């Protein structure tokens, strides 16, 4: 191939690639829908055999698989596709760490529609979607969340349980707020046979947690508490309260009302353990935690990816004594541990 | 910040980032729609002043601008935003190389909708959109293309004109097939005062080319030929025929019918100059050229990003003698020069 030495202006790769970025989300979603990665792992690794296996046209499958190779999800050698390491671990349906369920929430139509209205959300300063008030039950959305997002729980939940000393196996009464799939509380229960969990969420969502607790063999130690964290009788004398991915939905004043109730429910010396996207004070690092703000802009009335100093102020304002920030060793989230005097 | 040394499984960053990738397209589109980059360049460089300037909420603008900083489009220092170099060159409306018009086609609703039906397209082996037959005029789409895509023409058009020897300023009769905005032929006319251009496209599209030719001062050397390349009387004795981004729309047999007509219109020794996305034989490199196949899958009945050996076969089958592949020095596309005996 000849290359002529002609001077031209630079081509704006970042702009072009960003305008096309939505295509990669669509391609991965289609791969999930066709269960393409499992089919490749099971040996249907050329366009023709793969097409037959997933019930699609050879041209379509060849182009899709090539695109997934370009994106790094598969490798291609002599016309044969193989799964890249991360793909084999998380996107082969037979893997214990399978994450294909994530698309049920992260690439849902509702989520995408909220981004189609991003310009309106920027103008308004908050979500323009009808379901943006997260203080009301929205069964369809949150049941989908509970069913799809539990694969992301594993590493964070284990980290949090050890941070909270569960390996010491002392009796612990634990409130799991907005429990969703229940997997945070369930992980604490698995790490500590003397832990008793109260899982709070909307009734329809708790059905998912109940089934997960039963499947994990800790159904007798996970009590269901249906209702709103703003209204339910939370009980008292908790050693720990888990606040996983809930505070980002609300403005600061609403969070303080919520945290007042949590503070009252904890025993003296008890701790709230918050799992969140906590960007640095510059609000642009680390990238995934900081970028989470945009999802809160499109999806909530006034939620945010709050910085540690903002969380510290909210917790201190309702009486917590000390707050400590931890970075998850793997993953994009952070943990704040807040102690009651 | 403390980091506990706990072993956890790796977090699948590529999967998570790809599921979220569509958000970056939406954010850039919103920045265009609000003309955010021009506002920053003009000095409205903090969230509050920027919000006032673009008529949006401060919370919305702060979160959007932070997200664009995370993506590298702007920098942020002490709460003030500045344009990154590429952004200043291409996304400030006052720049001569402004590319904001690209969103009119690349991020159009129609284009995005075609990707929402990607799974159907993979199953069917071709576009499931109603406008997938590119042999018919589709004024709305192609006028939008002509109006939005000309900023991408510059470097490729200059490279092609020099490859074709326009700097020698010999009399040349040039057919610009599917001329669209006309900027390829116009660039040839600008490089060579003795070049005469015939611009072929649908009538509504040619209005855009006509205006661009007039603005470039070469209106008297750009003759408009309205119609279909498959049916129009193309004329004869051309020195050059420009085939820019047209052959990817069709299957090989259709392309050979088109190329037969081109071959007949060229004088002996004449050349066809094809600008295309031409991936290597592995079909997965270089990435942008190879990834273009997916756009052809969602948007056409049977088009493709053909390899050089596929183009070589099509051109040879209709009588062209010799084909040579060139890589554009800047940009994701390739050029094939095909000579008539």
Mean pLDDT score, A134-148:
75
In chain A, what residues touch B89 (CB-CB under 8 Å)? 9-10, 12
pLDDT tens, chain B, 341 aa long: 333 333 334 557 788 889 999 999 999 999 999 999 999 999 999 999 999 999 999 999 999 999 999 999 999 999 999 999 999 999 999 998 888 888 877 878 888 899 999 999 999 999 998 866 666 667 777 888 788 777 778 788 999 999 999 999 999 999 999 999 999 999 999 999 999 999 999 999 999 999 999 999 999 999 999 999 999 999 999 999 999 999 999 999 999 999 999 999 999 999 999 999 999 999 999 999 999 999 999 999 999 999 999 999 999 999 999 999 999 887 789 999 999 99
Distance from CA of A232 to the nearest CA of B (A): 31
In chain B, what residues touch A4 (CB-CB under 8 Å)? 159, 162-163, 326, 329
**Residue A10: per-residue pLDDT:** 52
Q: Is A55 on the interface with B (CB under 8 A)?
A: yes
C-beta atoms of B22 and A20 within 8 A: no
Distance from CA of B307 to the nearest CA of A (A): 13
Distance from CA of A17 to the nearest CA of B (A): 8
C-beta atoms of A284 and B69 within 8 A: yes
Query: A323 to chain B: nearest residue by CA?
Result: B1
Which two tokens mark B257? 């019918």
DSSP string, B228-295: -TTTS---S-EEEEEEES-GGGS-HHHHHHHHHHHHHHEEEEEEEEEEE----TTSS-SHHHHHHHHH
**Residue B165: per-residue pLDDT:** 96
Measured distance CA(B99)–CA(B87) in Å, rounded? 10
Q: Is B48 on the interface with A (CB under 8 A)?
A: no
C-beta atoms of B291 and A90 within 8 A: no
C-beta atoms of B329 and A57 within 8 A: no
Mean pLDDT score, A130-141:
69
| pLDDT of residue A181 exceeding 60 | yes
Q: What is the pLDDT of residues A37-94, one digit of tens each?
A: 999 999 999 999 999 999 999 999 999 999 999 999 999 999 999 999 999 999 999 9
Q: What is the pLDDT of residues A223-282, one digit of tens each?
A: 999 999 999 999 999 999 999 999 999 999 999 999 999 999 999 999 999 999 999 999
Mean pLDDT score, A118-122:
96
- What percent of chain A has pLDDT above 70? 94
Q: Which of A21, A30, A86 sits opposite B15 (nearest CB)?
A: A86
Question: Bridge partners of B73?
Answer: none
Using pLDDT thresholds of 50, 70 and 90, give the confidence band for residue A163: very high
Q: Is A88 on the interface with B (CB under 8 A)?
A: no
Q: Is A215 on the interface with B (CB under 8 A)?
A: no
Higher pLDDT, A27 or B331: A27
Distance from CA of B206 to the nearest CA of A (A): 26
**Residue A118: per-residue pLDDT:** 96
CA A310 to chain centre: 21
Instruction: Please say whether the beta carbons of A218 and A190 come within 8 A.
Output: yes
């Amino acid at each position: 191939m000849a290359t002529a030495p002609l001077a031209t202006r630079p081509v704006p790769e970042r702009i072009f690639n960003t305008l096309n970025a939505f295509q990669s989300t669509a391609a991965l979603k289609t791969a999930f829908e066709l269960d393409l990665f499992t089919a490749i792992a099971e040996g249907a690794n050329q366009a023709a055999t793969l097409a037959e296996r997933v019930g699609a046209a050879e041209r379509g499958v060849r182009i899709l698989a090539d695109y997934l190779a370009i994106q790094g999800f598969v490798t291609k050698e002599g016309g044969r596709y193989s799964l890249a390491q991360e793909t084999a671990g998380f996107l082969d349906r037979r893997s214990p760490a399978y994450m294909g369920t994530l698309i049920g929430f992260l690439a849902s139509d509702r989520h995408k529609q909220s981004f189609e209205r991003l310009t309106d959300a920027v103008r308004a300063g908050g979500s323009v979607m009808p379901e943006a008030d997260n203080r009301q039950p929205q069964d369809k959305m949150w049941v989908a969340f509970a069913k799809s997002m539990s694969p992301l729980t594993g590493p964070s939940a284990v980290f949090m349980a050890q941070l909270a000393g569960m390996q010491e196996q002392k009796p612990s009464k634990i409130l799991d707020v907005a429990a969703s799939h229940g997997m945070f509380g369930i992980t604490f229960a698995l790490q500590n046979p003397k832990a008793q969990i109260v899982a709070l969420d909307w009734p329809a969502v708790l059905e998912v947690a109940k089934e997960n607790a039963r499947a994990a063999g800790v159904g007798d130690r996970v009590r269901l508490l249906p209702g709103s964290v703003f209204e339910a009788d939370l009980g008292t004398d908790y050693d720990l309260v888990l606040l996983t991915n809930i505070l980002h939905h609300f403005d600061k004043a609403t969070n303080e009302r919520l945290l007042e109730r949590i503070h009252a429910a904890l025993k003296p010396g008890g701790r709230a353990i918050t799992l969140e996207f906590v960007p640095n004070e510059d609000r642009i690092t680390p990238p995934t935690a900081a970028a989470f703000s945009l999802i809160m802009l499109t999806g909530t009335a006034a939620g945010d990816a709050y910085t540690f100093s903002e969380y510290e102020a909210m917790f201190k304002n309702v009486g917590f004594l000390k707050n400590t920030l931890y970075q998850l060793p793997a993953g994009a989230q952070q943990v704040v541990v807040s102690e009651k005097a």
